[in-house]
Amino acid sequence: MGEYITIRKAGGKWTIRSGGAILGESNNALELSEGDYDPVIYFPRKDVAMAMLERTDKTTHCPHKGDANYYSIANRSSTTENAVWTYEAPIDAVAKIKDHLAFHVGDSIKVEQI
C-alpha cells in the first residue's frame, strides 16, 4: 500500500453540518488521502451526534481499507440516505480510522475547518 493511502491528524477544529444542524465538532479528526481522490475528513464517533444517524443495510468493499458500513442522516427537514460511512474493522494498514465516520459532502452536508 505504501504511499497510496496516508492518514494524518487534521489540523484545527472541524465541524459537520446537515440541514442547518451541527452533527459534530472535533479537534481529533483525521485526514485520509487516497491516490488521486480529494482528502476525506474522518470524525471520531464520540464527537458526532449518533442519534441523528440511522444505520442502513448498505455495505461496500475497498481493497485498501476493508468493508464499509453506512448511515443515513435524519434531521428535521429531510433524510440523506447512505451519507455517512465507517470502517468498523479496517485492514491493519489503516487501523487509525476505526471508530471514525466520514461524510459525503454536498449541498446538504458540509464538512469545514473552523
Return the DSSP state at 96: G
Instruction: Assess whether pLDDT exceeds 50 at residue 40.
Output: yes
The separation between CA 56 and the C-alpha centre of its own chain, rounded to angstroms, equals: 15
Q: Look up the CATH number of domain 5-113.
A: 2.170.150.40
**Residue indicated by cell numbers 466520514:** 102
For the segment 6-29, what is each residue's pLDDT rounded down to a tens digit?
999 999 999 999 988 899 999 999
**Nearest-CA neighbor of 80 among 62, 57, 105?**
105
Question: Is there a contact between 64 and 42 (Cβ–Cβ < 8 Å)?
Answer: no
Find the helix or strand (DSSP H, E) in which 3 lies: none
How does residue 3 score in pLDDT terms, banded at 50, 70 and 90? low
In order of 2, 18, 42, 93, the CA distances from 104 in angstroms are 26, 11, 11, 23
* Interatomic CA distance for residues 51 and 27, integer angstroms: 20
Report the pLDDT averaged over residues 50-68.
96
